[in-house]
């Protein structure tokens, strides 16, 4: 089963202030600009095995960090920048339309950096439902409890992205219920695209511009998306974090995705469990309860950690960065710059250890 990783990183200067990547995105086709200036995204190519994915990701990241050093820039693996001045958006019709649609709420998206795991589409209906049931695993990689200096939740990125950015368009940004067929998922996309287009035209955007910027496949920013590339199912729930943590998550989720294609998937009760001969996922309302625990309490929630263990995660091997950063109700901008530099250095050490091992 092919798989891939995409990770967004903040770019800061030697003082820890957010800055532009400049030429950092020009040396490789796998490093791209993001819709906000002080962020880059690293993408691996499709890999057949976890071992190949691990070595590819580590080598790419090592090279990216080396290029950043040459430019006196540091990459930061945090879900939010903690506290910062205004973040500028790269101008495009796509972002202009989103700003018109979401209003001030679109500003929340500018403060989010996440990890995206891709898995080859195989038994797609079961894959969609199982990945939805695994959404609470986002708590394993929570890497910032702060938004603009204020403590928001154990996973601040997920909270502001789902509850604030898409507050008035929940189906465009929040977790969808289980489906019975892929066709059901695709019809939902078509409906949302048409409603998005209709609302955009009401706000003065012409139809031609909308059609050039969006399609049913990319009009939503939900935690799970079907993508044409490979083609894959993209799982977008987790924060950016240290690569050792991301790889651990990719391994655990990947093992469950492999099992989806070799065993029975059943929806039943509120506990959930992965065994050798069956994957039992909870009723969707129970999943939402676990998701709330993941956002607000993270791995400090016994109910959440018990659930994730039953679903096949080695919870004790994870060390969410939020636990190291948390502890104050407010962090000012000077302190935030220091934290960004601290975790930029931690990222480099983590990569060095992975390279040596």
Identify the band that residue 128 occupies on the pLDDT scale cut at 50, 70 and 90. Answer: very high
Contacts of 112 (CB under 8 A, 6+ apart): 79, 80, 157, 160, 161, 165
CATH of the domain at 239: 3.30.590.20
CB 77 within 8 A of CB 181: no
The residue behind tokens 């976890």 is 50
Identify the band that residue 222 occupies on the pLDDT scale cut at 50, 70 and 90. Answer: very high
Position 228 scores a pLDDT of 85
Position 357 scores a pLDDT of 82
- The domain in which residue 136 lies consists of 3-356
Position 1 scores a pLDDT of 93
Position 93 scores a pLDDT of 93
pLDDT at 110 over 90: yes
pLDDT at 323 over 90: yes
pLDDT at 230 over 90: no
Burial (Cβ within 10 Å: 0-12, 13-18, ≥19) of residue 11: buried
Burial (Cβ within 10 Å: 0-12, 13-18, ≥19) of residue 220: buried
Pick from 288, 320, 283: nearest CA to 140 = 320
Instruction: Find how far residue 134's CA is from the centre of its chain.
Output: 13
pLDDT at 65 over 90: yes
Convert the pLDDT of each residue in 20-54 to its tens digit: 999 999 999 999 999 999 999 999 999 999 999 99
Paired with 279 in beta bridges are 265, 274
Q: Could you give the number of structural domains in the chain?
A: 1
Pick from 185, 184, 270: nearest CA to 226 = 185
Query: Could you tell me the end-to-end alpha-carbon distance of the chain, in angstroms, rounded to an integer?
Result: 25
**241-257: string of b/e by CB count within 10 Å (b at 16+)?**
bbbbbbbbbbbbbbebb
Identify the band that residue 229 occupies on the pLDDT scale cut at 50, 70 and 90. Answer: confident
Tell me how far apart the alpha carbons of residues 199 and 194 are, in angstroms, rounded to a whole number: 9
Identify the band that residue 350 occupies on the pLDDT scale cut at 50, 70 and 90. Answer: very high
Convert the pLDDT of each residue in 330-345 to its tens digit: 999 999 999 999 999 9
Mean pLDDT of 246-274: 96
Tell me how far apart the alpha carbons of residues 351 and 196 are, in angstroms, rounded to a whole number: 41
The proportion of the chain whose per-residue pLDDT surpasses 90, expressed as a percent, equals 96
């Amino acid at each position: 089963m092919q798989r891939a990783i995409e990770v967004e990183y903040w770019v800061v200067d030697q003082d820890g202030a957010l800055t532009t990547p400049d030429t950092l995105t020009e040396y490789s086709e796998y490093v791209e600009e993001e819709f906000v200036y002080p962020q880059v995204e690293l993408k691996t190519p499709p890999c057949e095995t976890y071992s190949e994915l691990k070595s590819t990701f580590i080598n790419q990241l090592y090279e990216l960090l080396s290029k950043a050093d040459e430019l006196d820039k540091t990459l930061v693996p945090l879900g939010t920048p903690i506290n910062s001045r205004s973040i500028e958006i790269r101008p495009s019709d796509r972002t202009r339309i989103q700003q018109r649609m979401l209003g001030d709420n679109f500003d929340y998206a500018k403060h989010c950096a996440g990890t995206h795991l891709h898995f080859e589409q195989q038994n797609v209906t079961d894959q969609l439902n199982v990945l939805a049931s695994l959404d609470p695993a986002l708590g394993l990689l929570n890497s910032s409890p702060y938004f603009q200096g204020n403590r928001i939740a154990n996973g601040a990125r997920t909270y502001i992205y789902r509850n604030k950015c898409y507050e008035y368009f929940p189906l465009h940004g929040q977790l969808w219920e289980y489906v019975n067929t892929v066709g059901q998922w695709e019809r939902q996309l078509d409906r949302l695209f048409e409603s998005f287009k209709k609302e955009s035209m009401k706000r003065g955007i012409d139809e031609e511009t909308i059609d050039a910027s969006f399609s049913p496949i990319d009009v939503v920013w939900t935690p799970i998306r079907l993508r044409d590339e490979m083609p894959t199912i993209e799982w977008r729930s987790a924060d950016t974090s240290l690569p050792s943590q991301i790889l651990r998550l990719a391994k655990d989720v990947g093992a469950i995705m492999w099992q989806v294609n070799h065993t029975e998937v059943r929806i039943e009760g509120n506990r959930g469990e992965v065994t050798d001969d069956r994957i039992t996922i909870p009723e969707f309302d129970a999943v939402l309860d676990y998701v709330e625990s993941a956002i607000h309490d993270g791995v400090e929630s016994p109910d959440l950690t018990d659930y994730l263990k039953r679903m096949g995660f080695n919870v004790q091997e994870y060390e969410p960065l939020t636990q190291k950063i948390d502890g104050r109700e407010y962090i000012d901008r000077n302190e935030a710059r220091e934290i960004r530099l601290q975790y930029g250095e931690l990222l480099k050490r983590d990569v060095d250890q992975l390279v040596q091992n």
